[in-house]
Structure 1
Amino acid sequence: MSRWWPRSLAGQAIALQILVIAVIVLAGSVLALLDARQDGDMAARQQVIGIPTALAESPSTAQAIESGRATEILQPVTDAVRTDTDIAFITIMSPEGIRFTHTDPRQIGGHYLGTIEPALRGETFTEVYTGTLGPSVRTIVPVRNESGTIVGLVSAGITQQTLAERWRSQWPMIAAVSAGALAISLVGVWAIRRRLLRQTHGLRPDELRVMYEHHDAILHSVSEGLIVLDRTGVALVNDEARRLLGLPPGPVAMDDLPEFLRTYNPGARDEVHVTDERVLVVNRSRVDNRSQDTEVVTIRDRTELQGALGELSSLQVLTESLRAQAHEAANRLHTVVTMVEMGRPEEAVKFATDELALSQHLVDRLSADVGEPALVALLLGKTAQAAERGIELSVTEDTYLPSDTDHVPLSGQEMVTVLGNLIDNAMDACDRDNPWVEVTVTQQDHALLIRVADSGPGMDAATFEKAMQRGYSTKTDAEHRGLGLALVSQVVKRHNGTLTADVTYGSVVTVTVSDS
């Protein structure tokens, strides 16, 4: 069987369809023949009842029998009726069964072969009987005169051979219809086969099963989120994509996806997008030319990596701060040494102590007012970084953060993320003719307030909203701008805080987070 049975799924499906269609057509043809035979028999019975009944009820029939000229009058009538109706015989007889008419004139005067007793009782009786013309279906009806007396009998019949010939004559038509239906079905099956071959690439059922099992295993085990989009919407979403995007179980609609995935944008590489909970790296690629409207989206979780990068950035700031301070200290030391060599020791001592007092004052104040060491290090580093860039960065006297971190709604790392990104944005945006940045960090009434102002022009509400939500590509440094504010927004939303921007004495961005 394996030598002739098709191997591909399309071939096996078509072979089974052909078998089913052949069985259906054959069964339909048999049923059609049986129905034709049943209809023919029923029509014949109605015919052999109607014709003798009409003749028996005709007054001329009873008058011809009573006149004694029955054969002379009625034989031509029965011959004409029989010819018009294609019935086998019409026999008119006396109550004793003596024939007045017959298909074979030689049988006139003979005794009728059949049952006449029910007709003599006034009944219309139908039976199958073998007479002079062979087996036939016949009906016998009584003939009454005007007074109601039975004066004769009328019998009409059709041979079973004639019935068989009638329904057999329908065989060619039924066979033609069946052959046409089979031919049309085969054409449709051939078209289906071509379509199945294209869709299954001629693979066997076992190959498709293995492919599906591997496909399903990969989708559930792969560590990256995977989404397939086509012209109808979302075609596929794996478990990791549901987790990263917070998608509900069951079918996924386009409206369930984040805004950055609802547009057709194949070819995007390493796009970074910030959601309420995560930092995601998105790649989008189009499937080959057979389906240009289909694209595959892969999603990687960069949240933990972003946190690590934030800590690394803080260390880099401290490193740059130490480098800047070492460079500045070396310059001051050279200045002091030179002043001593010039014979001006008093001025050298005053210069050295003033600079040291100013720097130590800032360190002492931040260490006393800010209880989070990471935040102190960040502020000192950003101050040195700003000074190196020619920007005046000041920490207001209102800055105060208790050392009891249990009552601070943000962790040290989260505060470094928020304040560090806000200061970086402020230093990038401040007015180059009057560059200054002002920082305030304070805890009031169980609410943490972080405010960063700068001399820049600020942002309108629409631009600020876009900056909090948009993603970017990691290809160039210029494209990094905007991620910082989005990360700030992510931390704030996670703690149900508020992030606002306004332009008063400068461009002011304020973060408020409650510990409740």
Structure 2
Amino acid sequence: MATAKRHASAASRVFIAFLGAVVVITALLVVLLTFQAQATERAEAEAVTLAVARTIAEMPEVAQAVTRGSDASATTELQPIAARVMDETPIDFVTIMTTGGIRLTHADPAEIGKPYLGTIEPGVQGRELTEEAVGTLGPSLRSVVPIEADGKVVALVSAGITLGSVGSGVVRQVPFVIAVAAALAAIGLLAAWFAGRFTRRIAGDLPASTVRDAVSSYESVRTLGEALRAQTHEHGNRMHTAVALMELGRTDEAIELLTETARSSQYLVDRVVARDGDPTVAALLLGKAAQATERGVEWTVDMQPAIPRTALGAVDAVSLVGNLVDNAIDAAATGPEPRWVRVGMAQASDGRIVLTFSDSGQGVAVEIRERIFEHGFSTKPAGADGRGVGLALVRAITDAAGGTLELTADPTTFRVQLPARGAQ
């Protein structure tokens, strides 16, 4: 027994889209906050090591210990000071050393008397230094400050924090990061729920494709209405002109005017409606020709004879062709002279129908060539009915039919390939 394929409603798709955005944003926020916590902890560690090293370097008893006796006697006086600082601060090691880099104090007494592992040259020259280096306790952030007596560097002090200690500080901030992420996720979920509920109030449980069809229907009526209005206006003008010519006794010119109008219209009708052609598209193009004339745009249609219909229904065909023609006319009308629009329809060797819409406008900037197909994006000022629907709808109709849509430049050309009706 055949089963009906269930389609997700528009409201469900809106909820899922919002939910996906929440997940992505939350994940990015967690990563950002984690990096921020690491950067903050590192900056604080550097500030603490430098402050402690400066404090020790300025203690009078430290300078006295390294200047009045041997290294052994200096160690006897300085090791308790270093141990006290390590106990009372977050510093992991305090190394007081000679200007030659020989340790006088160390967190591990067995390392006293051995060379310091790190950079000391700036300190010997009287400058402070903060760096990351690997010592006996592993990788660490340490600051080296010169110890001076009578304006001369007599020793150096290095205060450091291991990277493991810095990492533990980051771990302490994890609950805060989790709390912020959870709060954001909760707000996002609530927004997604409201968005889905709001969409359901408007569209009910209709599938997203049905909502898209409704928009396509509206666009079809709009663009076809504009075309018919322009065509009616143009025909009215020509009829008034013909009547005036006949009243002036210039019957031949009146007949020529009406014959030319009929000849142009018949060209499109013959090529579009012949065999399997779509008469709705023919009517649309006839109206758009009048619309182009109204706006001072030269209108050309190059159509392969007896071209078959595309796989699109009448509503989608009018919506797709109408929106692309409208865009082309708008671009040409606001661009430099000569102003023109060319529409082409042909059948490719693989049986697909190729539609091209070219114009003499100023073109589409490279940086927005993908964005113009996004719903809500438009380079035109918003009108009463809003903007940013046409090209997004054109892409949706093309994709749903299994076709392709391309934009090229010089001249600006939208190229649509669609399967012919009945093609597998």
- After TM superposition, the score normalised by the length of structure 1 is 0.40
The structure with higher relative contact order (CA 8 Å, sep 6+) is 2
- After TM superposition, the score normalised by the length of structure 2 is 0.47
